[in-house]
Amino acid sequence: MISAIIRKVSIGPDYKNAMHFQVGQTVIKGEAQISNIILDVMTGNINIYISSKDEVHLWKSLNKSIPVTIEYDIDIE
């Protein structure tokens, strides 16, 4: 199985007006930061984790029935 690091997800059928979540983005009134975005291969859900005060929490879980655009972290040298 090949895994890839997800950098950004956009939720909604229209990319221009979608909700965008990106690793490193500040959320919850500046109290937390998105630390990881992970695709759960068993369920197909996309899980968004945030970190705050040295703790990591599952913040959002998006099921596969909603339109989602995934941007992967690509390092081109």
31 is a domain residue: yes
pTM score, whole prediction: 0.86
Q: Are 67 and 12 in contact (CB under 8 A)?
A: yes
Q: Is 6 exposed, middle or buried (0-12, 13-18, 19+ CB in 10 A)?
A: buried
37 is a domain residue: yes
Give tens-digit pLDDT for 1-38. Answer: 455 689 999 999 888 999 999 999 999 999 999 999 99
1 is a domain residue: no
45 is a domain residue: yes
**Confidence at 60, pLDDT banded by 50, 70, 90:** very high
Per-residue model confidence (pLDDT) at position 77: 73
Tally of domains in the chain? 1
Among the listed residues 36, 40, 50, 46, the one whose alpha carbon sits nearest the alpha carbon of residue 67: 46
35 is a domain residue: yes
Domain of 21?
Answer: 6-72
44 versus 58: the higher-pLDDT residue is 58
**Confidence at 40, pLDDT banded by 50, 70, 90:** confident
Give the tokens for residue 26: 């500040």
